[in-house]
Structure 1
């Protein structure tokens, strides 16, 4: 135990400081663990967020960062882990407090797909899929999600 005396404000600020880290074997650019949290995410202390809301906000940052590294011919998709369910183009993301995360999208054949996941089972593999041939520009869900965070 240290002998430091902290004010209540300092204690609250210390508790709100983000804990994150990352190590890479090759340069892959800046990752969400290294970036500052957007003001919209850090305005509410983590202790006041449900596990679903906090997971949702961080997933948005990961998806946006992944999309920033894609070329104009690819879009973000997610692979399902632990099963044979395949992959889904991410077209939407939501949470239902206190503990549910929902992914909305479509499979490579275009069928509507939704995954509902408890935060304790959250396991997401982001993949790059070629955009549809008849689509002039790739869809970027990460940028929309961040806009929603900032406007929320």
Structure 2
């Protein structure tokens, strides 16, 4: 065993608090993804093993939504497609969680009807879509910016 294999107690504790993530893309010019970015301080502060399944899923969904929106042009907004059904899409206006295992999405469907999806984390399947804005004269709504701002503070 070499000296490089020795870790301090603090380093070992930090390593257990950091989640394992990764991504592989066929295109070497693919944009940066949520898996490759460092966790914001507000998320990294509490070790993963101290979070409920709902909180941890909620936090990672926010990172995915924010990253997706960073790649949108000014003519598109984010929407969520429902997997496994013909329910259409929900324009995401909010997201929440209820410990220990519920995630909730708030928004509007294609017709502008208020919609809410309540889902158990074990059934979580989310398809993020870029959809044209409903009101071209208004700047696009960026829910990811609002969601992630609480996590970037130290």
Contact 2:103 2:118 in 1 (8 A): yes
Q: Secondary structure at the match of 1:12?
A: helix
Query: Within 1, Cα distance between the matches of 2:129 and 2:110?
Result: 12
Residues 1-152 of structure 1 correspond to what in structure 2 (within 5 A)? 8-26=9-27, 27-133=29-135, 135-150=137-152
Distance 1:65 1:5, change over 3 A: closer
Structure 1 range deviating more: 25-34 or 137-146: 25-34
Count of residue correspondences: 149
Q: Shift of the alpha carbon at 1:136? A: 1.4
CA offset digits 1:47-67 (Å, max 9, x no partner): 110010001000000000000
For structure 2, which runs of at least 5 residues remain unmatched after alignment? none
TM-score, normalisation: structure 1: 0.91
- What is the rounded CA distance, in whole Å, between the counterparts of 2:50 and 2:23 in structure 1? 25
Q: Cα offset for 1:14?
A: 2.1
Q: CA deviation at 1:8?
A: 4.2
- For the 8 Å contact 2:94–2:106, the answer to whether it is kept is yes
Per-residue deviation, residues 31-87 of structure 1 (Å, max 9, x unmatched): 011100001100000011001000100000000000010010100000000111111
In 1, Cα distance between equivalents of 2:136 and 2:12: 55
CA distance in 2, matches of 1:14, 1:68: 28
Note the alpha carbon deviations across 1:2-51, whole angstroms, 9 max, x for none.
xx776543432221122100001123210011100001100000011001
* Structure 2 SS opposite 1:72: coil
